[in-house]
Amino acid sequence: MAMIVCSECDCTIEHFKADKMATLYGNCEACKKKRASR
């Protein structure tokens, strides 16, 4: 499963693991907006 790294927050693997949507998005505002739009 691909990790999509956000250019806004430059997420690391650890960043992803800390998030419920670990396969897609991090915790910056841009990622939150992307996650909300799904």
CA distances from 35 to 13, 21, 30 (A): 17, 8, 9
Q: Residue 31: its pLDDT value, please?
A: 72
Angle made by CA atoms 31, 7, 13, in degrees to the nearest 5: 75
Q: Residue 1: its pLDDT value, please?
A: 42
Q: Residue 19: its pLDDT value, please?
A: 54
> What does the domain layout of the chain look like in residue ranges?
1-38
Give the torsion through C-alpha atoms of 6, 22, 29, 38, to 10 deg.
100
pTM score: 0.34
pLDDT tens digits, one per residue of 1-38: 455 566 666 655 555 555 555 455 566 777 777 767 76
| Cβ atoms of 31 and 11 closer than 8 Å | yes
| Cβ atoms of 22 and 16 closer than 8 Å | yes
Q: Residue 20: its pLDDT value, please?
A: 54
